[in-house]
Chains A and B, each alone.
Chain A
Amino acid sequence: MIADPSASGRTAPGRPAARPQRRPRRRAMPGPIVLTALQAAMFAALIIAWYVLVRAKALPVFFFGDPVLVFQQIVSWFVTGEIFVHLATTLIETLLAFLLGVASGIGIGLWLGLSPLTAALFDPYIKALNAMPRVILGPIFIVWFGLGIGSKVALGVTLVFFVVFFNVFQGVREVNPVILANSRMLGANRRQLLTTVYIPSALSWVFSSLHMSVGMAFVGAVVGEYLGSARGVGYLILQAEATFDVNAVFAGIIVLTVFALVLDLAVTLVEKRLIVGKPKS
Protein backbone atom coordinates (compact mmCIF):
# COMPACT_ATOMS: atom_id res chain seq x y z
CA MET A 1 0.00 0.00 0.00
CA ILE A 2 1.12 3.54 -0.64
CA ALA A 3 1.43 5.55 2.53
CA ASP A 4 -0.61 8.69 2.85
CA PRO A 5 1.90 11.42 1.93
CA SER A 6 0.39 13.86 4.38
CA ALA A 7 0.90 11.37 7.19
CA SER A 8 4.60 10.87 6.51
CA GLY A 9 5.39 14.28 7.96
CA ARG A 10 4.42 13.12 11.41
CA THR A 11 7.28 10.70 11.89
CA ALA A 12 10.54 11.85 10.42
CA PRO A 13 13.09 10.31 12.77
CA GLY A 14 16.15 11.11 10.71
CA ARG A 15 15.42 14.79 10.33
CA PRO A 16 14.98 16.58 13.62
CA ALA A 17 15.66 19.94 12.03
CA ALA A 18 12.49 19.83 10.01
CA ARG A 19 10.27 19.26 13.02
CA PRO A 20 10.08 22.54 14.89
CA GLN A 21 9.28 24.31 11.62
CA ARG A 22 6.41 22.04 10.76
CA ARG A 23 4.55 22.13 14.06
CA PRO A 24 3.26 25.68 14.19
CA ARG A 25 2.24 25.73 10.53
CA ARG A 26 -0.14 22.81 10.32
CA ARG A 27 -1.84 20.58 12.84
CA ALA A 28 -1.07 16.92 12.46
CA MET A 29 -3.56 14.87 10.44
CA PRO A 30 -5.61 12.51 12.64
CA GLY A 31 -5.30 8.78 12.03
CA PRO A 32 -7.80 7.01 9.75
CA ILE A 33 -9.90 5.62 12.61
CA VAL A 34 -10.24 8.98 14.30
CA LEU A 35 -11.06 10.57 10.96
CA THR A 36 -13.83 8.05 10.27
CA ALA A 37 -15.22 8.62 13.75
CA LEU A 38 -15.24 12.38 13.14
CA GLN A 39 -16.98 11.90 9.80
CA ALA A 40 -19.63 9.68 11.45
CA ALA A 41 -20.11 12.20 14.23
CA MET A 42 -20.66 14.94 11.68
CA PHE A 43 -23.27 12.83 9.91
CA ALA A 44 -25.05 12.16 13.20
CA ALA A 45 -24.96 15.85 14.08
CA LEU A 46 -26.56 16.75 10.74
CA ILE A 47 -29.35 14.21 11.19
CA ILE A 48 -29.97 15.33 14.77
CA ALA A 49 -30.06 18.97 13.72
CA TRP A 50 -32.53 18.08 10.99
CA TYR A 51 -34.67 16.15 13.50
CA VAL A 52 -34.58 18.89 16.15
CA LEU A 53 -35.33 21.71 13.70
CA VAL A 54 -38.29 19.86 12.21
CA ARG A 55 -39.71 18.82 15.63
CA ALA A 56 -39.31 22.36 16.95
CA LYS A 57 -41.22 23.53 13.88
CA ALA A 58 -38.33 25.73 12.84
CA LEU A 59 -38.49 23.90 9.48
CA PRO A 60 -41.90 23.02 7.97
CA VAL A 61 -42.21 19.23 8.03
CA PHE A 62 -44.26 19.31 4.83
CA PHE A 63 -41.20 20.43 2.83
CA PHE A 64 -38.36 18.97 4.81
CA GLY A 65 -39.76 15.65 6.03
CA ASP A 66 -38.92 13.91 9.26
CA PRO A 67 -35.70 11.89 9.50
CA VAL A 68 -37.41 9.23 11.60
CA LEU A 69 -40.15 8.76 9.03
CA VAL A 70 -37.62 8.79 6.23
CA PHE A 71 -35.70 6.05 7.98
CA GLN A 72 -38.91 4.06 8.57
CA GLN A 73 -39.76 4.40 4.89
CA ILE A 74 -36.39 2.99 3.86
CA VAL A 75 -36.69 0.10 6.32
CA SER A 76 -40.17 -0.74 5.17
CA TRP A 77 -39.06 -0.75 1.51
CA PHE A 78 -36.42 -3.31 2.32
CA VAL A 79 -38.51 -5.35 4.77
CA THR A 80 -41.43 -5.69 2.38
CA GLY A 81 -38.97 -6.29 -0.44
CA GLU A 82 -40.78 -3.66 -2.49
CA ILE A 83 -37.54 -1.84 -3.26
CA PHE A 84 -35.72 -4.72 -4.92
CA VAL A 85 -37.56 -4.71 -8.21
CA HIS A 86 -36.82 -0.99 -8.47
CA LEU A 87 -33.17 -1.37 -7.59
CA ALA A 88 -32.83 -4.22 -10.05
CA THR A 89 -34.49 -2.19 -12.78
CA THR A 90 -32.20 0.80 -12.25
CA LEU A 91 -29.16 -1.48 -12.08
CA ILE A 92 -30.05 -3.26 -15.31
CA GLU A 93 -30.69 0.03 -17.09
CA THR A 94 -27.38 1.40 -15.85
CA LEU A 95 -25.42 -1.66 -16.92
CA LEU A 96 -27.06 -1.83 -20.34
CA ALA A 97 -26.52 1.88 -20.95
CA PHE A 98 -22.92 1.52 -19.85
CA LEU A 99 -22.18 -1.50 -22.05
CA LEU A 100 -23.92 -0.17 -25.14
CA GLY A 101 -22.45 3.30 -24.62
CA VAL A 102 -18.94 1.94 -24.23
CA ALA A 103 -19.27 -0.40 -27.22
CA SER A 104 -20.63 2.30 -29.54
CA GLY A 105 -18.13 4.84 -28.20
CA ILE A 106 -15.22 2.52 -28.87
CA GLY A 107 -16.50 1.49 -32.30
CA ILE A 108 -17.22 4.97 -33.60
CA GLY A 109 -14.22 6.47 -31.81
CA LEU A 110 -11.93 3.97 -33.58
CA TRP A 111 -13.60 4.53 -36.91
CA LEU A 112 -13.39 8.31 -36.83
CA GLY A 113 -9.98 8.27 -35.17
CA LEU A 114 -8.53 6.15 -37.95
CA SER A 115 -10.20 7.99 -40.81
CA PRO A 116 -9.42 11.71 -40.79
CA LEU A 117 -11.75 12.44 -43.70
CA THR A 118 -14.79 10.96 -41.95
CA ALA A 119 -13.78 12.70 -38.76
CA ALA A 120 -13.62 16.05 -40.53
CA LEU A 121 -17.01 15.39 -42.13
CA PHE A 122 -18.70 14.52 -38.83
CA ASP A 123 -16.88 17.12 -36.77
CA PRO A 124 -19.61 19.84 -36.64
CA TYR A 125 -22.32 17.28 -35.85
CA ILE A 126 -20.31 15.70 -33.05
CA LYS A 127 -19.61 19.13 -31.61
CA ALA A 128 -23.29 20.08 -31.77
CA LEU A 129 -24.47 16.83 -30.20
CA ASN A 130 -21.92 17.14 -27.44
CA ALA A 131 -22.85 20.76 -26.73
CA MET A 132 -26.57 19.91 -26.55
CA PRO A 133 -27.88 19.17 -23.03
CA ARG A 134 -28.73 15.59 -23.92
CA VAL A 135 -31.12 15.07 -21.00
CA ILE A 136 -33.74 16.90 -23.07
CA LEU A 137 -33.69 13.91 -25.42
CA GLY A 138 -35.45 11.97 -22.64
CA PRO A 139 -39.02 12.85 -23.66
CA ILE A 140 -38.28 11.96 -27.28
CA PHE A 141 -36.85 8.61 -26.24
CA ILE A 142 -40.01 7.93 -24.22
CA VAL A 143 -42.08 8.64 -27.33
CA TRP A 144 -39.82 6.38 -29.40
CA PHE A 145 -39.10 3.54 -26.99
CA GLY A 146 -42.03 3.69 -24.55
CA LEU A 147 -42.11 3.75 -20.77
CA GLY A 148 -40.09 0.56 -20.35
CA ILE A 149 -36.36 0.02 -20.04
CA GLY A 150 -35.60 1.04 -23.63
CA SER A 151 -36.00 4.80 -23.23
CA LYS A 152 -33.80 4.87 -20.09
CA VAL A 153 -31.07 2.84 -21.71
CA ALA A 154 -31.20 5.10 -24.76
CA LEU A 155 -30.76 8.20 -22.62
CA GLY A 156 -27.89 6.59 -20.69
CA VAL A 157 -26.22 5.52 -23.92
CA THR A 158 -26.23 9.05 -25.34
CA LEU A 159 -24.57 10.25 -22.15
CA VAL A 160 -21.97 7.45 -21.92
CA PHE A 161 -21.25 7.45 -25.63
CA PHE A 162 -19.68 10.88 -25.71
CA VAL A 163 -17.45 10.29 -22.72
CA VAL A 164 -16.08 7.11 -24.28
CA PHE A 165 -16.09 8.39 -27.83
CA PHE A 166 -13.93 11.41 -27.07
CA ASN A 167 -11.50 9.32 -25.06
CA VAL A 168 -11.12 6.69 -27.76
CA PHE A 169 -10.88 9.29 -30.50
CA GLN A 170 -8.14 11.06 -28.58
CA GLY A 171 -6.47 7.74 -27.75
CA VAL A 172 -6.30 6.74 -31.40
CA ARG A 173 -5.07 10.16 -32.49
CA GLU A 174 -2.37 10.14 -29.86
CA VAL A 175 -1.10 6.59 -30.24
CA ASN A 176 2.62 6.70 -29.56
CA PRO A 177 4.18 6.97 -33.06
CA VAL A 178 7.26 5.04 -31.96
CA ILE A 179 5.18 2.07 -30.80
CA LEU A 180 3.31 2.23 -34.07
CA ALA A 181 6.52 2.32 -36.14
CA ASN A 182 7.98 -0.48 -34.02
CA SER A 183 4.95 -2.69 -34.67
CA ARG A 184 5.18 -2.03 -38.39
CA MET A 185 8.86 -3.02 -38.30
CA LEU A 186 7.89 -6.20 -36.44
CA GLY A 187 5.70 -7.08 -39.40
CA ALA A 188 2.20 -6.02 -38.35
CA ASN A 189 -0.39 -5.69 -41.09
CA ARG A 190 -3.22 -3.13 -40.88
CA ARG A 191 -5.57 -5.41 -38.97
CA GLN A 192 -2.85 -6.38 -36.51
CA LEU A 193 -1.96 -2.74 -35.94
CA LEU A 194 -5.61 -2.16 -35.08
CA THR A 195 -5.91 -5.05 -32.65
CA THR A 196 -2.50 -4.83 -30.99
CA VAL A 197 -1.79 -1.10 -30.98
CA TYR A 198 -4.79 1.13 -31.65
CA ILE A 199 -7.39 -0.75 -29.60
CA PRO A 200 -5.25 -1.39 -26.49
CA SER A 201 -4.02 2.18 -26.59
CA ALA A 202 -7.57 3.52 -26.85
CA LEU A 203 -8.78 1.14 -24.13
CA SER A 204 -6.31 2.53 -21.65
CA TRP A 205 -8.03 5.87 -22.15
CA VAL A 206 -11.44 4.24 -21.69
CA PHE A 207 -10.30 2.74 -18.39
CA SER A 208 -9.24 6.14 -17.19
CA SER A 209 -12.79 7.39 -17.71
CA LEU A 210 -14.58 4.37 -16.25
CA HIS A 211 -15.97 6.20 -13.22
CA MET A 212 -17.34 8.96 -15.36
CA SER A 213 -18.95 6.53 -17.84
CA VAL A 214 -20.67 4.50 -15.12
CA GLY A 215 -21.84 7.70 -13.44
CA MET A 216 -23.30 8.91 -16.73
CA ALA A 217 -25.11 5.61 -17.29
CA PHE A 218 -26.61 5.92 -13.82
CA VAL A 219 -27.71 9.51 -14.39
CA GLY A 220 -29.33 8.47 -17.68
CA ALA A 221 -31.23 5.64 -16.00
CA VAL A 222 -32.51 7.68 -13.07
CA VAL A 223 -33.43 10.78 -15.08
CA GLY A 224 -35.16 8.55 -17.63
CA GLU A 225 -37.17 6.92 -14.88
CA TYR A 226 -38.04 10.25 -13.43
CA LEU A 227 -39.32 11.53 -16.77
CA GLY A 228 -41.74 8.65 -17.08
CA SER A 229 -41.62 5.00 -16.11
CA ALA A 230 -43.32 2.16 -14.28
CA ARG A 231 -40.31 0.86 -12.31
CA GLY A 232 -36.98 1.93 -10.90
CA VAL A 233 -35.72 4.09 -8.06
CA GLY A 234 -36.37 7.23 -10.10
CA TYR A 235 -39.98 6.03 -10.48
CA LEU A 236 -40.29 5.66 -6.67
CA ILE A 237 -39.30 9.28 -6.25
CA LEU A 238 -41.66 10.36 -9.02
CA GLN A 239 -44.53 8.49 -7.30
CA ALA A 240 -43.75 9.97 -3.90
CA GLU A 241 -43.63 13.43 -5.36
CA ALA A 242 -46.98 12.98 -7.05
CA THR A 243 -48.56 12.15 -3.68
CA PHE A 244 -46.65 14.92 -1.84
CA ASP A 245 -44.92 12.28 0.31
CA VAL A 246 -41.74 14.21 1.03
CA ASN A 247 -40.40 11.52 3.38
CA ALA A 248 -40.44 8.97 0.57
CA VAL A 249 -38.73 11.48 -1.74
CA PHE A 250 -35.89 11.87 0.74
CA ALA A 251 -35.78 8.12 1.30
CA GLY A 252 -35.50 7.63 -2.46
CA ILE A 253 -32.70 10.17 -2.72
CA ILE A 254 -30.77 8.44 0.07
CA VAL A 255 -31.20 5.03 -1.53
CA LEU A 256 -30.00 6.47 -4.85
CA THR A 257 -26.96 8.04 -3.23
CA VAL A 258 -25.95 4.81 -1.52
CA PHE A 259 -26.57 2.96 -4.79
CA ALA A 260 -24.24 5.38 -6.60
CA LEU A 261 -21.56 4.98 -3.94
CA VAL A 262 -21.71 1.18 -4.17
CA LEU A 263 -21.54 1.38 -7.95
CA ASP A 264 -18.47 3.61 -7.73
CA LEU A 265 -16.84 1.20 -5.31
CA ALA A 266 -17.51 -1.67 -7.71
CA VAL A 267 -15.87 0.31 -10.53
CA THR A 268 -12.84 0.92 -8.31
CA LEU A 269 -12.53 -2.82 -7.69
CA VAL A 270 -12.85 -3.64 -11.39
CA GLU A 271 -10.31 -0.95 -12.20
CA LYS A 272 -7.79 -2.40 -9.76
CA ARG A 273 -8.06 -5.77 -11.47
CA LEU A 274 -7.79 -4.34 -14.95
CA ILE A 275 -5.08 -1.75 -14.49
CA VAL A 276 -2.86 -2.60 -11.53
CA GLY A 277 -3.19 -6.39 -11.51
CA LYS A 278 -3.14 -6.84 -15.25
CA PRO A 279 -3.63 -10.60 -15.04
CA LYS A 280 -2.38 -12.71 -17.93
CA SER A 281 -4.78 -12.78 -20.83
Chain B
Amino acid sequence: MTFGLQPEAGAVRMPAPVGDLSAPAGPPPALLFDHVSVRFGAYTAVNDASLHVGDGEFVSIVGPTGCGKSTLLNVAAGLLEPSEGDICVYGRSLEGINADAGYLFQADALMPWRTALSNVITGLEYAGTERKAAERLGNEWLARVGLSGHGERFPHEMSGGMRKRVALAQTLIRDPKIVLMDEPFSALDVQTRVLMENELLQLWTTYRKSVLFITHDLEEAISLSDRVIILSAGPSTHPIAEFRIDLPRPRDVAEIRMTPRFVELYHQIWDAMKEEVLKAYERNQRKLAD
Protein backbone atom coordinates (compact mmCIF):
# COMPACT_ATOMS: atom_id res chain seq x y z
CA MET B 1 0.00 0.00 0.00
CA THR B 2 1.05 3.53 -0.69
CA PHE B 3 0.77 4.54 2.90
CA GLY B 4 2.24 1.42 4.45
CA LEU B 5 5.53 3.25 4.88
CA GLN B 6 4.00 6.01 6.94
CA PRO B 7 1.83 4.37 9.57
CA GLU B 8 1.80 7.50 11.67
CA ALA B 9 0.83 9.90 8.97
CA GLY B 10 -2.70 11.19 9.04
CA ALA B 11 -2.70 13.38 6.00
CA VAL B 12 0.06 12.91 3.50
CA ARG B 13 0.73 15.52 0.94
CA MET B 14 1.92 13.82 -2.20
CA PRO B 15 4.28 15.48 -4.62
CA ALA B 16 2.39 16.52 -7.73
CA PRO B 17 1.87 14.74 -9.99
CA VAL B 18 1.36 11.55 -8.05
CA GLY B 19 2.64 9.38 -10.88
CA ASP B 20 4.05 5.97 -10.07
CA LEU B 21 3.34 6.15 -6.38
CA SER B 22 -0.24 5.22 -7.16
CA ALA B 23 0.74 1.76 -8.37
CA PRO B 24 0.83 -0.07 -5.08
CA ALA B 25 2.76 -3.17 -4.27
CA GLY B 26 1.00 -6.23 -2.87
CA PRO B 27 -2.38 -7.61 -4.00
CA PRO B 28 -3.84 -5.86 -7.06
CA PRO B 29 -6.17 -2.96 -6.17
CA ALA B 30 -9.84 -3.05 -7.07
CA LEU B 31 -9.32 -0.26 -9.52
CA LEU B 32 -6.15 1.15 -11.01
CA PHE B 33 -5.85 4.08 -13.39
CA ASP B 34 -2.52 3.68 -15.13
CA HIS B 35 -1.43 6.94 -16.81
CA VAL B 36 -4.90 7.56 -18.25
CA SER B 37 -5.51 10.40 -20.70
CA VAL B 38 -8.84 11.28 -22.29
CA ARG B 39 -9.23 13.62 -25.22
CA PHE B 40 -12.44 14.86 -26.80
CA GLY B 41 -11.22 15.99 -30.20
CA ALA B 42 -8.64 18.69 -29.57
CA TYR B 43 -9.73 19.12 -25.94
CA THR B 44 -7.72 17.16 -23.39
CA ALA B 45 -10.07 16.53 -20.49
CA VAL B 46 -7.83 14.20 -18.48
CA ASN B 47 -4.08 14.06 -18.84
CA ASP B 48 -1.87 11.33 -17.41
CA ALA B 49 -4.00 10.47 -14.41
CA SER B 50 -2.83 7.63 -12.19
CA LEU B 51 -4.68 6.57 -9.08
CA HIS B 52 -6.06 3.49 -7.42
CA VAL B 53 -8.82 2.24 -5.16
CA GLY B 54 -7.80 -0.55 -2.81
CA ASP B 55 -10.02 -3.55 -2.17
CA GLY B 56 -12.75 -2.46 0.27
CA GLU B 57 -11.47 1.09 0.35
CA PHE B 58 -13.64 4.22 0.19
CA VAL B 59 -11.89 6.79 -2.00
CA SER B 60 -13.26 10.21 -2.91
CA ILE B 61 -12.21 12.38 -5.80
CA VAL B 62 -12.66 16.10 -5.33
CA GLY B 63 -12.27 18.70 -8.02
CA PRO B 64 -13.88 21.84 -9.36
CA THR B 65 -16.95 21.49 -11.58
CA GLY B 66 -16.12 20.68 -15.18
CA CYS B 67 -12.63 19.40 -14.41
CA GLY B 68 -13.26 15.87 -15.66
CA LYS B 69 -14.50 13.89 -12.67
CA SER B 70 -17.39 12.25 -14.52
CA THR B 71 -15.04 11.52 -17.39
CA LEU B 72 -12.73 9.61 -15.04
CA LEU B 73 -15.64 7.61 -13.66
CA ASN B 74 -16.92 6.77 -17.14
CA VAL B 75 -13.48 5.43 -17.94
CA ALA B 76 -13.53 3.28 -14.80
CA ALA B 77 -16.99 2.01 -15.76
CA GLY B 78 -15.79 1.01 -19.21
CA LEU B 79 -18.34 3.34 -20.82
CA LEU B 80 -15.54 5.48 -22.22
CA GLU B 81 -12.27 4.21 -23.63
CA PRO B 82 -9.23 6.24 -22.56
CA SER B 83 -7.21 7.81 -25.36
CA GLU B 84 -4.06 6.66 -23.59
CA GLY B 85 -3.27 4.49 -20.62
CA ASP B 86 -5.00 1.55 -19.02
CA ILE B 87 -7.61 0.66 -16.45
CA CYS B 88 -6.94 -2.44 -14.37
CA VAL B 89 -9.67 -4.12 -12.38
CA TYR B 90 -8.22 -6.49 -9.78
CA GLY B 91 -5.09 -6.63 -11.87
CA ARG B 92 -6.78 -7.40 -15.17
CA SER B 93 -6.81 -4.85 -17.94
CA LEU B 94 -10.37 -3.64 -18.55
CA GLU B 95 -12.04 -4.19 -21.89
CA GLY B 96 -15.61 -3.11 -22.52
CA ILE B 97 -18.06 -2.60 -19.67
CA ASN B 98 -16.65 -3.09 -16.18
CA ALA B 99 -18.72 -6.06 -15.04
CA ASP B 100 -17.37 -5.82 -11.47
CA ALA B 101 -18.66 -2.29 -11.05
CA GLY B 102 -21.97 -0.69 -10.20
CA TYR B 103 -22.49 2.93 -11.21
CA LEU B 104 -24.63 5.50 -9.46
CA PHE B 105 -25.07 8.28 -11.99
CA GLN B 106 -25.18 11.98 -11.27
CA ALA B 107 -28.36 12.41 -13.32
CA ASP B 108 -31.56 10.43 -12.83
CA ALA B 109 -31.10 7.06 -14.47
CA LEU B 110 -34.27 5.22 -13.44
CA MET B 111 -36.59 4.03 -16.19
CA PRO B 112 -39.65 6.26 -15.94
CA TRP B 113 -41.92 3.49 -17.27
CA ARG B 114 -40.99 1.06 -14.50
CA THR B 115 -42.06 0.98 -10.87
CA ALA B 116 -39.52 1.31 -8.06
CA LEU B 117 -39.45 -2.45 -7.52
CA SER B 118 -39.19 -3.18 -11.20
CA ASN B 119 -36.34 -0.67 -11.47
CA VAL B 120 -34.52 -2.21 -8.52
CA ILE B 121 -34.59 -5.71 -10.02
CA THR B 122 -33.66 -4.65 -13.56
CA GLY B 123 -30.11 -5.95 -13.15
CA LEU B 124 -31.34 -9.30 -11.84
CA GLU B 125 -33.72 -9.51 -14.78
CA TYR B 126 -30.78 -8.99 -17.14
CA ALA B 127 -28.89 -11.74 -15.36
CA GLY B 128 -31.84 -14.10 -15.85
CA THR B 129 -32.76 -14.45 -12.18
CA GLU B 130 -36.10 -16.12 -11.62
CA ARG B 131 -38.86 -13.50 -11.25
CA LYS B 132 -40.16 -14.51 -7.81
CA ALA B 133 -36.70 -14.66 -6.28
CA ALA B 134 -35.77 -11.35 -7.87
CA GLU B 135 -38.86 -9.65 -6.46
CA ARG B 136 -38.21 -11.04 -3.00
CA LEU B 137 -34.66 -9.71 -3.07
CA GLY B 138 -35.91 -6.46 -4.57
CA ASN B 139 -38.31 -5.91 -1.69
CA GLU B 140 -35.54 -6.69 0.78
CA TRP B 141 -33.38 -4.03 -0.83
CA LEU B 142 -36.19 -1.51 -0.92
CA ALA B 143 -36.56 -2.04 2.82
CA ARG B 144 -32.81 -1.67 3.28
CA VAL B 145 -32.84 1.76 1.66
CA GLY B 146 -35.90 2.76 3.66
CA LEU B 147 -38.52 2.38 0.96
CA SER B 148 -40.59 -0.62 2.03
CA GLY B 149 -44.14 -0.23 0.81
CA HIS B 150 -43.16 2.12 -2.00
CA GLY B 151 -42.33 -0.60 -4.54
CA GLU B 152 -45.32 0.13 -6.77
CA ARG B 153 -44.53 3.83 -7.20
CA PHE B 154 -43.28 5.21 -10.46
CA PRO B 155 -40.22 7.49 -10.47
CA HIS B 156 -42.35 10.57 -11.17
CA GLU B 157 -44.32 9.78 -8.01
CA MET B 158 -41.21 9.93 -5.82
CA SER B 159 -39.03 12.72 -4.45
CA GLY B 160 -35.42 13.19 -5.57
CA GLY B 161 -34.16 11.52 -2.39
CA MET B 162 -36.41 8.51 -2.88
CA ARG B 163 -35.29 8.15 -6.47
CA LYS B 164 -31.65 8.16 -5.34
CA ARG B 165 -32.47 5.42 -2.83
CA VAL B 166 -34.06 3.35 -5.57
CA ALA B 167 -30.99 3.89 -7.73
CA LEU B 168 -28.76 2.85 -4.84
CA ALA B 169 -30.76 -0.34 -4.31
CA GLN B 170 -30.72 -0.98 -8.06
CA THR B 171 -26.94 -0.78 -8.07
CA LEU B 172 -26.21 -2.70 -4.86
CA ILE B 173 -28.68 -5.55 -5.44
CA ARG B 174 -26.30 -6.92 -8.06
CA ASP B 175 -23.61 -7.12 -5.40
CA PRO B 176 -20.87 -5.42 -7.44
CA LYS B 177 -17.38 -5.49 -5.93
CA ILE B 178 -16.77 -1.90 -6.98
CA VAL B 179 -19.22 0.97 -6.66
CA LEU B 180 -18.72 4.14 -8.69
CA MET B 181 -20.69 7.14 -7.47
CA ASP B 182 -20.91 10.41 -9.36
CA GLU B 183 -21.98 13.27 -7.08
CA PRO B 184 -24.94 11.11 -6.08
CA PHE B 185 -26.31 13.47 -3.44
CA SER B 186 -25.48 16.86 -4.93
CA ALA B 187 -29.08 17.51 -6.00
CA LEU B 188 -30.55 16.75 -2.57
CA ASP B 189 -31.39 19.18 0.21
CA VAL B 190 -28.96 19.29 3.14
CA GLN B 191 -31.02 17.20 5.60
CA THR B 192 -31.82 14.44 3.12
CA ARG B 193 -28.22 14.48 2.09
CA VAL B 194 -26.85 13.89 5.60
CA LEU B 195 -29.35 11.06 6.07
CA MET B 196 -28.31 9.41 2.85
CA GLU B 197 -24.61 9.84 3.55
CA ASN B 198 -25.02 8.06 6.87
CA GLU B 199 -27.04 5.31 5.25
CA LEU B 200 -24.39 4.93 2.58
CA LEU B 201 -21.72 4.56 5.26
CA GLN B 202 -23.79 1.90 7.02
CA LEU B 203 -24.26 -0.04 3.82
CA TRP B 204 -20.57 0.29 3.06
CA THR B 205 -19.63 -0.97 6.54
CA THR B 206 -21.93 -3.96 6.03
CA TYR B 207 -20.91 -4.91 2.51
CA ARG B 208 -17.36 -3.51 2.26
CA LYS B 209 -17.46 -2.53 -1.38
CA SER B 210 -14.57 -0.71 -2.99
CA VAL B 211 -15.99 2.74 -3.56
CA LEU B 212 -14.87 5.51 -5.87
CA PHE B 213 -16.94 8.51 -4.86
CA ILE B 214 -16.99 11.76 -6.78
CA THR B 215 -17.97 15.06 -5.29
CA HIS B 216 -17.16 18.73 -5.49
CA ASP B 217 -17.94 19.01 -1.77
CA LEU B 218 -14.80 18.67 0.34
CA GLU B 219 -16.71 18.16 3.62
CA GLU B 220 -18.66 15.29 2.12
CA ALA B 221 -15.45 13.72 0.81
CA ILE B 222 -13.68 13.92 4.18
CA SER B 223 -16.59 12.67 6.25
CA LEU B 224 -17.14 9.60 4.07
CA SER B 225 -13.73 8.49 2.86
CA ASP B 226 -10.60 6.58 3.75
CA ARG B 227 -8.70 8.65 1.24
CA VAL B 228 -9.37 11.88 -0.64
CA ILE B 229 -7.78 12.61 -4.01
CA ILE B 230 -7.63 16.18 -5.25
CA LEU B 231 -7.81 16.87 -8.98
CA SER B 232 -6.34 19.86 -10.74
CA ALA B 233 -8.64 22.25 -12.58
CA GLY B 234 -9.32 21.31 -16.21
CA PRO B 235 -8.23 21.01 -18.94
CA SER B 236 -5.58 18.31 -18.67
CA THR B 237 -6.92 17.25 -15.29
CA HIS B 238 -4.79 14.97 -13.14
CA PRO B 239 -4.51 14.17 -9.44
CA ILE B 240 -2.38 16.72 -7.60
CA ALA B 241 -2.57 15.52 -4.02
CA GLU B 242 -4.05 12.81 -1.89
CA PHE B 243 -4.83 12.62 1.80
CA ARG B 244 -5.52 9.75 4.10
CA ILE B 245 -8.50 10.41 6.35
CA ASP B 246 -7.76 8.83 9.73
CA LEU B 247 -11.06 9.75 11.35
CA PRO B 248 -12.40 6.87 13.45
CA ARG B 249 -15.25 4.68 12.21
CA PRO B 250 -18.14 4.19 12.50
CA ARG B 251 -18.78 7.81 11.71
CA ASP B 252 -21.79 10.06 11.87
CA VAL B 253 -21.30 12.48 9.01
CA ALA B 254 -23.04 15.34 10.80
CA GLU B 255 -21.19 14.93 14.09
CA ILE B 256 -17.78 14.15 12.70
CA ARG B 257 -17.71 17.59 11.06
CA MET B 258 -17.55 19.19 14.51
CA THR B 259 -14.44 17.29 15.63
CA PRO B 260 -11.07 19.11 15.78
CA ARG B 261 -9.39 16.44 13.65
CA PHE B 262 -11.95 16.97 10.88
CA VAL B 263 -11.39 20.72 10.93
CA GLU B 264 -7.64 20.20 10.84
CA LEU B 265 -7.87 17.86 7.86
CA TYR B 266 -10.26 20.22 6.16
CA HIS B 267 -7.82 23.10 6.40
CA GLN B 268 -4.90 21.01 5.19
CA ILE B 269 -6.78 19.79 2.15
CA TRP B 270 -8.33 23.15 1.44
CA ASP B 271 -4.87 24.71 1.37
CA ALA B 272 -3.86 22.20 -1.26
CA MET B 273 -7.00 22.82 -3.27
CA LYS B 274 -7.27 26.57 -3.07
CA GLU B 275 -4.93 27.25 -5.93
CA GLU B 276 -6.85 24.93 -8.28
CA VAL B 277 -10.21 26.29 -7.26
CA LEU B 278 -8.96 29.81 -7.94
CA LYS B 279 -7.63 28.69 -11.31
CA ALA B 280 -10.98 27.18 -12.24
CA TYR B 281 -12.76 30.26 -10.99
CA GLU B 282 -10.56 32.61 -13.00
CA ARG B 283 -11.02 30.49 -16.08
CA ASN B 284 -14.78 30.68 -15.71
CA GLN B 285 -14.62 34.43 -15.21
CA ARG B 286 -12.59 34.77 -18.37
CA LYS B 287 -15.05 32.54 -20.23
CA LEU B 288 -17.88 34.77 -19.06
CA ALA B 289 -15.99 37.87 -20.11
CA ASP B 290 -15.45 36.57 -23.67
Contact = CB atoms under 8 A, between A and B. Distances in A.
B109 A184 contact: no
Interface stretch (A72-80, A118-126, A157-165, A175-183): A175-183
Contact of A181 (B109, B152, B170, B171): B109
B101 to A, nearest CB: 7
Contact of A196 (B79, B99, B122): B122
B126 A182 contact: no
Contacts of A185: 77, 79, 97-98, 101-103, 171
Interface string B72-95: 000001010000000000000000
B272 to A, nearest CB: 32
B154 interface: yes
A182 B99 contact: no
B105 A178 contact: yes
A204 B77 contact: no
Interface in A229-281: 278, 280
Interface stretch (A101-109, A143-151, A187-195): A187-195
A279 B156 CA distance: 15
B127 interface: yes
B174 interface: yes
A172 to B, nearest CB: 15
Contacts of B108: 178
A278 B157 CA distance: 12
Contacts of A280: 115, 152
Contact of A189 (B98, B109, B126, B174): B126
Given A185-B79, A185-B102, A186-B170, A178 B126 contact: no
B94 to A, nearest CB: 13
A181 B126 contact: no
A189 B174 CA distance: 16
A192 B126 contact: yes
Interface string B97-141: 111011101011111110100000011011100000000000000
A54 interface: no
A178 B122 contact: no
Contact of B111 (A187, A189, A196, A278): A196
Contacts of A189: 126
A179 B111 contact: yes
Given A178-B109, A181-B109, A278-B154, A188 B79 contact: no
A188 B109 contact: no
B110 to A, nearest CB: 8
Nearest to A278: B154
Contact of B122 (A183, A203, A204, A278): A183
Contacts of A197: 111
A185 B103 CA distance: 7
Contacts of B79: 181, 184-185
Most A C-beta atoms less than 10 A away, residue of B102, B126, B171:
B126
B127 A182 contact: no
B111 A186 contact: no
B108 to A, nearest CB: 7
Nearest to A193: B126
B174 A182 contact: no
Nearest to A204: B113
A182 B103 contact: yes
Interface in A201-223: 201, 203-204
Contacts of B170: 186
A60 interface: no
A200 interface: yes
A179 B79 CA distance: 13
A178 B107 contact: yes
A280 B109 CA distance: 21
A182 B154 contact: no
Nearest to B122: A186
Nearest to B99: A187
A196 B118 CA distance: 11
A208 to B, nearest CB: 13
A12 B16 CA distance: 64
Most A C-beta atoms less than 10 A away, residue of B77, B102, B111, B127:
B111
Given A187-B174, A278-B154, A179 B126 contact: no
Contacts of A182: 103, 105, 109-110
A201 B98 CA distance: 25
Which are the 7 A-B pairs with shortest beta-carbon distances?
A182-B109, A186-B123, A185-B103, A187-B126, A178-B107, A178-B109, A200-B113
Interface of B: 77, 79, 97-99, 101-103, 105, 107-113, 115, 122-123, 125-127, 152, 154, 170-171, 174
20 contacts: A178-B108, A179-B109, A181-B77, A181-B79, A181-B103, A181-B109, A182-B110, A184-B97, A185-B79, A185-B97, A185-B102, A186-B123, A186-B126, A186-B170, A186-B174, A187-B123, A187-B126, A189-B126, A200-B113, A278-B154
Given A192-B126, A201-B113, 18 more contacts: A178-B105, A179-B110, A181-B103, A182-B105, A184-B79, A186-B170, A186-B174, A187-B97, A187-B123, A187-B126, A187-B174, A188-B126, A189-B126, A196-B122, A196-B126, A197-B111, A278-B154, A280-B152
